[in-house]
Structure formats: structure tokens, C-alpha cells
A and B are shown apart, each in its own frame.
Chain A
Amino acid sequence: LSRIGDELYLEPTDSGLSLRSVNSSRSAFASFLFAPLFFQLYQLGEPQPFRCKVLMKSFLGVFRSLPSLEKTVGKCLILLKPSANHLVLQLHCKYGVTKTHNLAFQECERLQAVFDIQHCASSLCAPARVLAEAVVHFPQTLAEVTLGAGAGGKISLRNYVEDEMESKKTMVTELWLAEDEFQRVAVTPGSSITFCLKEFRGLLTFAEASNLPLTIHYDVPGRPVVFTLDDAVLEVHLVLATLLDPKSDSQCPTANGGVSHLPLPSDDLTDDIESYMVAMETEEEPGVPPSPTFPLHNPCPAQSDPEEEEEEEEEEEEGAVPGTPPHKKFRSLFFGSVLTPGGPSLAPTQEVLAEDSDNDC
């Protein structure tokens, strides 16, 4: 999670302790949900629901040295004390030594990304190792990578080069993976998406360490790609925004509102960032029947989960915001408000632009 944002959001719920983070441009969101079974003791108190955020740095500072932690720490107690305004992390170590950290927190709104796995046209599942090995071929500095479904069921990964001009000068790396390397492949032939590599690498590191298979759910360019890890006691989601495809004109056809909320491509597509939009939870999406507000731990079954405390978090980029005018249109989760871009035209459409017009995509 530290690869994504500077703040760690904690939300204890009935289904477990949820740790989340989002990046500043709202193009990446991740959540880790640790089921109550993951813990030796899981007790919810009053008031519920309670959400807070702490500085990522402060939190990580408690778990500074992993190797020594593994050797010396027996138990970790996490106490959220609203009255004292402190998040207490207490490590019980060897020799009876107790380390208590009192971190200041801030209460906050729910951080929830909007995405719908059910409505993703394509999905892939592979052991983390396979993907990690694939990704290793790309330079560390590479920003974006394109994942595509090619002929013969092969899956490709290539580095994304923004500019046509540049592509003549930069080295292009393309990697093909055979279908049998994956545990499951259900992709739309010819589909492809482009997303940010950095956050994805973060997730891969965690997945590899925990030996969990990684599932990738994606749809059309512009719609977020969702990476999930599931385990009996842990659910992880990483939602990343994807780049809008300048060439595609018919993405999801009309929203139910009857207005085309298709991304108006062209112009600003050169501006990646704007195409990366993470739709955060919003209440104001009247025209969209399938409300995109999915609680994180919605779809996936859980698989085994390793002990990791909140170390790595995955990033999920939600490119949620439907393409619409590339003027970032995203609803800010926290404030539940709609930050409507001063987009050209489509003023009314913007409301309808709630993402997902699932059915049609």
C-alpha cells in the first residue's frame, strides 16, 4: 500500500479489518481486507462504523525491520482508541519486551473505489510468479505497460510508448505468454489495456511472497483494471486506471440514461493522467442502475492469506471514470461530491457518466 499512497486508511468492519490507500491523482486504489479469522482476536467496539487514516510512513515505521520482526515478535496488538485519538500498535516480543506505538490518526470518510468485477469482459488468472517473471523484463523506470489478448490465446505485455514519434526511438519490449501459463483465461480477443506498472509491481511483490495466484479483470480501455488476490482470510484488490484508447470510438455505448457517455476520445488523450481516473464512490449517479458502489470485498472467494501486516498494499488503479471528456471527471470518494470537470458539452451527460454501463460493454 505504501507504493500507492501516503496515507493508510483503516476501517474495521464486521467482515474484517480493511486497509486501503489511494494515490494522489486518484488513479490507483488498493485495499486489503483481513478477515476476522486472520487475527487471533478481532473485536469491534463502539462507535461503529469507525474510519481513520494514519500517515503511511508512521505506520510502516512500526514494522521497520521485517527479518528481525519475524524473529522477535510474538504478537501484535492493534487497538483503535477514538477517545485517545491514538492508534495503538503493540508488539509483544521475545523476553517479555513490549513495544508500544501510539500513532495519531485522523478520522475520515470511507475510501471506496468504484468498480465492478462482474462486468469486466475479460479476466485472467495466473500464479504471481509467472507475471512477476514477465514484468522483470521491463525496465524499472517504465511507466506504463499494455496487456493484450492476441491471436491464438496468447497474452502479450509490451511497454507503452506515448508518442508515435517516440516509438521510433525508444526500445520496445514485447512479451508473449502462452495460454497454458495461466490458470484461467477468459478474454475478449483483441482486447488490450494500458496501465501503470509501478503499482502493479507492488502487488506482484506481495503476491509472490504470499504465493497467491493473481486474477486480472479488465474491460475496455478507460475502464479500470482490477487485480485481485484471494485467500481464506485475505482479499486484496488493486484497481488501476487504464489509458483510454484513442482509436476506439465505440466503447460502451450509451448509458442507461440514454446519453452517450462514451469517452470522447481525441484531443486530450495524449494526456495520460487525465485518462486515468478512479471513480470513487459517489451517491449521485442516478442514471446508472447497477450502482457502481461495490464494497471491496465483494466478489472474490478468499484463499489463504499470509501473515503480512499491512506492509504491501496493492494499488488499484481505477480508470473507472469512463472515458468521457478526458477532463478528469472523477467523483471524489470522500466528499461524496461530484467533481465535474468543466467538460465541454455533455453537461447533463456528466451526471449520467457514472461509470459502468456494464451491460453494453
Chain B
Amino acid sequence: MAISRRSFLKLAAGAGLAAGASLAPAPVGARPPVPRLPEAVGILYDATLCIGCKACMSACKEFNGLPPEHTDPRAIWDDPLDLSAKTVNIVKLYTHGSGLAKDREVDGYAYIRRFCMHCVDPACTSACPVGALYKDARTGIVKYNPDVCIGCRYCQIACPYNIPKFQWDSPFPRIVKCQMCDHLQARGSFPACCRFCPTGASLFGEVRELLREARRRLALKEGEPTWFPLRRVDSGSHTYRAAPAYLPYIYGEKDGGGTQVLMLSSVPFAKLGLPALGEDSIASHSETVYHALYKGMLLPYLVLSGLVYLVYRNTTKKDLP
């Protein structure tokens, strides 16, 4: 009747091992953080330069073959309310109080562009069971391959910025997201949103150089006259204006393990709807928990051997019919 002492001890040891591994939030074998790729490309978005013209939105749709969207049936223009399977880039507006002064948190307003951040260590690619979302090994662009996607939407659960969108109204749906105009880059061009931005608010370039440019801007004194590159960080053409009152923070430098899209603003990023993520990527955390249990399948294999032994002993002794 009683549980045999020996078998109980064995099982307890196995269970203890499993529990121990999952109990330690960051065991010795925690997955190391992913470094930035040396040739990574990205976009620097400076909200203080953004005039809300939405040229990037229409350019994005035109060069990516995306249809306009009617959220209000009476509207006679493209009027997406948020990112969707038809809109992978959107300019949103923050307002407060009287909403009069641009780039001011109180009684002011500010624009904010939202699109895929092209994370250094993306949650979406860690989650995707079949590698349909994957990170280009050289440029770091996070791309989508519909030929393998099973449509499970785990990428949507995982992405901390809610970027991947799903075609809910199609019997043959796809995931849709910004792929940094990868097809244009393959032809030697660069993202449409940066090419058509009239103020340089969206700037394409290598992430290294974008980071340098962002730091240069943060070092400026408010009101100091300065120059801002247009379209690409290395384009050689500039606009000239006074430096705004930047928050001393580059969103995406470290956030969530870092992103290849970097942002500057005068209004706190939390107010603009960007999540506060901490410096570790959620992918590294999830994979640490997961790999603690499944590294090399060692633990499952050990448990299985123990189980076969116990069951064999218990069934043969009992002499089954």
C-alpha cells in the first residue's frame, strides 16, 4: 500500500531537480545578452523634428503595396487608428492640457512614430516556432517569411511593442510588419519613410553612426544653432535650426536589450506610449527559464530513464494480466 521508500526518494530527487532549476530566476546558465551586430542598420526618429505631416505613412504604404484604411466610413482619406495589417507605420499625437506648445509635456503636444523597433534580441523571433520571423545575420533587420509561418500568433503575444499584425479578415492570412524596406535596400535604396521625411525626423543609417548622431544631439545646449542630416545620416544634406530641449535619453539604446530603431524626444517616452522595459530583453529571460529545464534535453532524458525503471519494476512485480 505505502509508497515504497526508495521509489519515493528517487522521484523526490527528480522533482527537486526540476523545481530547483525552474525556481532560480537567473541560474548560473542564464542566457547571455545578445550584442549589437557591427553592420546593423536602423532608423533614428527625432520626435522634436517631426511635424506630423505623415509623408512617411503614405510613402510606407506606396512602397510596400499596402492599401489605405477606412476606420471611419465617412472619411475620405487614409485614416488608420493604430498599426494594423494594412498600416505598418503610424504617426501618433500626444496632447496635454491646452495642447499649445510643441514638444512640451505640460499644456503641449508631440508626435511619435510607431513601427517595428528591430530589436537587438527580439521577442518575436525567440517566440516564433518555425523561424518565420528571423533576424538578418548582417543587417539585423527582423524579416518575415510567409512560406513557413503557421499563423499561430505567438509573435503577437511576445512582442513588447505589439508590432506584428495579423490579417484577421483573410482565409489565407499573413503576419504583416515593417521589414525596414528590405526590398528597397536590396536595390541599393533605403527605407521610404526616411527618404520622404522632409525634416530629417526619420533618418536611416548604420546603427553605430545613428547612435553617434543621437549623442551629438543630446550634447547640444538648448537653443544652440545646429544642423540635422536629411534622409540618411551620411547623405551630406542638412537642415539648420536651434537645438530643442531634449530629454537626456536615447530610447532603444538599452531598452529591452536595445533596438535598431532609436528615438529622441522632449516628452517622456512613457507619455508617448513606449513601454518601460528595463535593460534585459524579455527573450533572454524567457529562454533562460526554458533552457534551465531543457538544455540539451538532459533533464527530460534523466527523468525518462528514472520513469522507465520505476514503471518497469512496479509493473513486473505486480504481474499484470
Q: Are A and B bound to each other?
A: no
